[in-house]
């Protein structure tokens, strides 16, 4: 028990837990959109594309928070929009184009990172680095969380109408195309922020599981957003403390913790769980 | 099923505007041409109708009925021509139109209840930021009541019968205070009692001043349900009151296998 209270005194750990709260809430909140949009896998591939962007940016302008942030954003944009462009200008579908683009980029990223000698950072980008956060990392996480939550809250009605029926959304005057661009941007930002917590390979876990868990209990979209956010924040902190106690990798523990929560909900939810369905 | 017939209390909704003469509002489609996925789906569609009526869109599969509804709803942009509601382009008054998609296009597992769906109808009036007030709640309640959905308000939408689902979407259109309802195959997949109930609803909605335009594939029930009919297969074969336009000759022409 003493070890747990110790968590709250060590400044390094305080900082990591604050990051867990911020990043967890933003990811959980946005996960409602990802679940309702049914685009978890697409976003998973884009998250892998963050790595080559970071590598190229570090190679060009050196290592800093901003080069990592901007490089990651640029790469994700390039892969996301590039695959869309390829599907529109050839007979390929977007998933095929994504599959090729992100693996190519990821492979190139690995080579570049080894060549320019920043291998020690590679692990952090791949699997998260909660224990080595700077103040500016925290500020970036805070800024991203604020932008993501404000955007999704301000346009929640339009987003819901569009997710449910895009055609109806258009008929009542929702600017579907612009809203989609905005949402894509928000998802990218949130992915970049979760890079610090769980790394680019596992980031989708944090961006899907919280709302998916709530989804097993609720028929209210608002519950998915706020519930996802709360679960994301609390779950991340709890998982981080578990990781600290057990000396497991923090990012992996967080993702595994959410996976376990989801499995419990999937089996035992009184409303939509496996057992509830059986007994009906 | 409850034996009482659902009906909406109150006057003809057009008459709320006291400064206007009691004249029905017209919907005019002029020279409309629409392409869907780069294929011309409709050409040279022109007709004029007015609120208080029910209009059937009739034609074989792939005739462009859905495309016509989508163009009127502002989902697809027409290549040529226009749609005018009370003399203005219809899209200028998008909150006055409600589009009800085909059953197959709806994600029934979406985490939303009957009440939640009907509340969505208010969003068209409120936009993103105006608060949902007591007034809005009353309208939602009234809409639920008119469609006899009060007892089902907390059900998730997949836990409803086909007729109840259709009524939920109509309730949303009522909550939106829509004047024009565009319905894609609303009678498809309903059992006979549900069809009869929907038919009565069509009558009462038209009686209170709404304009209902629906694609329909059951030729036998057209004259029971609808006032006017538009026969269409890529182009317009006939338009007018059912008794005049829905003739054997016109139907045969619209359904005749194309020679191409």
**Enclosing domain of residue A274:** 8-126+135-279
> DSSP label at B5?
P
- Whether A172 contacts chain B with CB within 8 A: yes
Residue A164 host element (H or E): helix A156-164
Q: B223: which 2 tokens?
A: 């004259």
Alpha helices in chain B (DSSP H): 65-73, 114-126, 134-146, 162-175, 192-207, 222-225, 242-245, 248-255
Contact A218, A265 (CB under 8 A): no
State the residue for tokens 């519950």. Answer: A223
3-state SS assignment for residue B32: strand
Residue B217 has pLDDT above 60, yes or no: yes
- Whether B106 contacts chain A with CB within 8 A: yes
pLDDT mean over B183-199: 93
Pairing type for strands B54-58 and B80-85 reads unpaired
Q: Does A157 sit within 8 Å of B105, measured CB to CB?
A: no
Structure confidence at residue A146 (pLDDT): 96
Average confidence score pLDDT of chain B: 88
Structure confidence at residue A195 (pLDDT): 85
Q: Residue B32's closest CA among B61, B91, B75, B72?
A: B72
Residue B239 host element (H or E): strand B235-241
Q: What CA–CA distance (Å, rounded) separates A128 from A122?
A: 9
- Residue A175, in any domain of the structure: yes
B74-89 tens-digit pLDDT? 999 999 999 999 989 9
- Residue A1, in any domain of the structure: no
> In B, which residues are within 8 Å of A160 by CB distance?
120
Q: What CA–CA distance (Å, rounded) separates A141 from A202?
A: 17
- Residue A3, in any domain of the structure: no
> In A, which residues are within 8 Å of B73 by CB distance?
167-168, 170-171
Query: Which candidate from A156, A171, A220 shows the least CB-CB separation from B116?
Result: A220
> In B, which residues are within 8 Å of A154 by CB distance?
128-129
pLDDT mean over B165-194: 94
Structure confidence at residue A276 (pLDDT): 84
Structure confidence at residue A87 (pLDDT): 87
Domains of chain A: total: 1
A103-142 tens-digit pLDDT? 999 999 989 888 887 777 788 888 888 888 888 889 999 9
- Residue A155, in any domain of the structure: yes
Residue B3 has pLDDT above 50, yes or no: no
**Enclosing domain of residue B90:** 25-255
- Whether B103 contacts chain A with CB within 8 A: no
- End-to-end, the C-alpha distance of chain B in Å comes to 48
- Residue A47, in any domain of the structure: yes
Query: Which candidate from A161, A219, A220 shows the least CB-CB separation from B123?
Result: A161
Structure confidence at residue B43 (pLDDT): 93
Confidence band, pLDDT 50/70/90 cuts, at residue B259: very low
Pairing type for strands B235-241 and B228-233 reads antiparallel
- Whether A101 contacts chain B with CB within 8 A: no
Q: Residue A38's closest CA among A140, A136, A163?
A: A163
Task: State the sign of the Cα–Cα–Cα–Cα dihedral B210, B211, B217, B222.
Answer: positive
Rounded to whole angstroms, what are the CA distances from A88 to A83, A85, A176, B37, B78?
Answer: 9, 5, 19, 13, 22
Q: What CA–CA distance (Å, rounded) separates A159 from A162?
A: 5
- Residue A272, in any domain of the structure: yes
> DSSP label at B6?
P
Structure confidence at residue B27 (pLDDT): 94
How far is Cα of residue B74 from the mean position of the Cα atoms in its chain?
A: 13
DSSP symbols for B124-161? HHHTTTS---HHHHHHHHHHHHHTT-GGGTTSBGGGS-
Structure confidence at residue A128 (pLDDT): 85
- Residue B213, in any domain of the structure: yes
Q: What is the CATH number of the domain that holds A242?
A: 1.10.3470.10
- Residue A2, in any domain of the structure: no
Q: What is the CATH number of the domain that holds B177?
A: 3.40.50.300
Q: Is the pTM of this model over 0.90?
A: no
Confidence band, pLDDT 50/70/90 cuts, at residue B12: low
Most distant pair of Cα atoms in chain A: their distance: 62
Count the Cβ atoms, other than its own, within 10 Å of residue B192: 7
Count the Cβ atoms, other than its own, within 10 Å of residue A51: 28
Count the Cβ atoms, other than its own, within 10 Å of residue A155: 19
| B1: exposed, middle or buried (Cβ count in 10 Å: 0-12, 13-18, 19+) | exposed
- Residue B10, in any domain of the structure: no
Q: Give B239's strand partners.
A: B230
Per-position pLDDT tens, chain A of length 280: 566 777 678 888 889 999 999 999 999 999 999 999 998 888 888 898 888 998 899 888 888 878 888 898 899 889 988 988 898 888 889 889 999 999 999 999 989 888 887 777 788 888 888 888 888 889 999 999 999 999 999 999 999 999 999 989 988 889 998 999 899 999 999 998 888 788 888 889 999 999 999 999 999 999 999 999 999 999 999 999 999 999 999 999 999 999 999 999 999 998 888 988 777 6
| Shortest alpha-carbon distance between residue B243 and chain A (Å) | 32
Confidence band, pLDDT 50/70/90 cuts, at residue B6: very low
Alpha helices in A155-248 (DSSP H): 156-164, 166-171, 176-206, 209-215, 221-246
- Residue B121, in any domain of the structure: yes
- Residue B2, in any domain of the structure: no
- Residue B150, in any domain of the structure: yes
> DSSP label at B86?
T
Residue B132 has pLDDT above 80, yes or no: yes
Contact B215, B184 (CB under 8 A): yes
Domains of chain B: total: 1
Q: B61: which 2 tokens?
A: 């599969």
Higher pLDDT, B62 or B166: B166
Q: Does A215 sit within 8 Å of B97, measured CB to CB?
A: no
Q: Does A215 sit within 8 Å of B110, measured CB to CB?
A: no
3-state SS assignment for residue B51: coil
Most distant pair of Cα atoms in chain B: their distance: 59
Confidence band, pLDDT 50/70/90 cuts, at residue B211: very high
- Residue B7, in any domain of the structure: no
B233-249 tens-digit pLDDT? 999 999 999 999 999 99
- Residue B29, in any domain of the structure: yes
Contact B125, B198 (CB under 8 A): no
Structure confidence at residue B258 (pLDDT): 52
């Amino acid at each position: 028990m003493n070890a747990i209270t110790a968590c709250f005194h060590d400044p390094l750990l305080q900082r990591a837990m604050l990051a867990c709260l911020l990043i967890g809430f933003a990811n959980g909140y946005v996960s409602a959109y990802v679940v309702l949009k049914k685009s978890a896998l697409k976003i998973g591939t884009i998250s892998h594309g963050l790595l080559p962007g970071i590598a190229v940016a570090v190679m060009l302008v050196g290592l800093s928070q901003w080069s990592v942030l901007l490089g990651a954003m640029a790469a994700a944009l390039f892969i996301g929009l590039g695959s869309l462009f390829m599907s529109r200008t050839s007979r390929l579908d977007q998933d095929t184009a994504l599959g090729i683009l992100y693996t190519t980029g990821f492979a190139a990223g690995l080579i570049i990172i080894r060549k320019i000698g920043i291998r020690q950072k590679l692990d952090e980008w791949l699997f998260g680095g909660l224990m080595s956060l700077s103040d500016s990392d925290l500020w970036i996480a805070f800024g991203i969380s604020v932008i993501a939550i404000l955007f999704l809250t301000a346009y929640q009605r339009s987003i819901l109408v569009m997710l449910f029926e895009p055609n109806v959304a258009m008929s009542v005057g929702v600017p579907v195309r612009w809203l989609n661009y905005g949402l894509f941007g928000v998802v990218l930002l949130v992915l970049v922020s979760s890079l610090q917590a769980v790394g680019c390979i596992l980031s989708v876990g944090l961006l899907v599981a919280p709302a998916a868990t709530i989804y097993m209990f609720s028929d209210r979209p608002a519950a998915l957003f706020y519930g996802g956010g709360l679960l994301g924040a609390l779950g991340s902190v709890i998982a981080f403390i578990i990781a600290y106690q057990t000396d497991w990798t923090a990012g992996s523990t967080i993702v595994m913790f959410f996976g376990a929560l989801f499995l419990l909900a999937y089996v035992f939810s009184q409303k939509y769980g496996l057992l509830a369905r059986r007994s009906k | 099923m409850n034996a009482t017939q659902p009906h909406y209390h109150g006057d003809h909704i057009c008459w709320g505007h006291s400064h206007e003469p009691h004249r029905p509002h017209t919907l005019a489609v002029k020279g409309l041409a629409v392409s869907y996925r780069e294929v011309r789906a409709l050409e040279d569609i022109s007709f004029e109708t007015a609120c208080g009526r029910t209009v059937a869109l009739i034609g074989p599969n792939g005739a462009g009925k859905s495309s016509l509804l989508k163009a009127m709803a502002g989902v697809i942009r027409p290549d040529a021509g226009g749609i005018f509601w009370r003399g203005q382009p219809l899209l200028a008054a998008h909150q006055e139109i409600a589009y009800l998609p085909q059953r197959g296009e709806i994600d029934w597992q979406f985490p939303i209840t009957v009440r939640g769906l009907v509340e969505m109808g208010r969003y068209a009036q409120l936009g993103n930021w105006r608060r949902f007030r007591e007034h809005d709640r009353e309208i939602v309640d009234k809409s639920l009541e008119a469609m006899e959905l009060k007892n089902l308000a907390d059900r998730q939408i997949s836990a409803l019968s086909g007729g109840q689902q259709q009524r939920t979407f109509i309730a949303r259109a009522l909550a939106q205070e829509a004047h024009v309802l565009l319905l894609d195959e609303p009678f498809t997949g309903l059992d006979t009692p549900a069809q009869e109930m929907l038919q009565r609803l069509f009558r009462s909605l038209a009686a209170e001043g709404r304009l209902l335009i629906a694609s329909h594939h059951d030729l036998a029930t057209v004259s029971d349900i609808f006032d006017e009919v538009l026969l269409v297969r890529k182009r317009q074969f006939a338009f007018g009151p059912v008794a005049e336009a829905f003739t054997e000759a016109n139907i045969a022409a619209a359904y005749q296998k194309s020679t191409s």
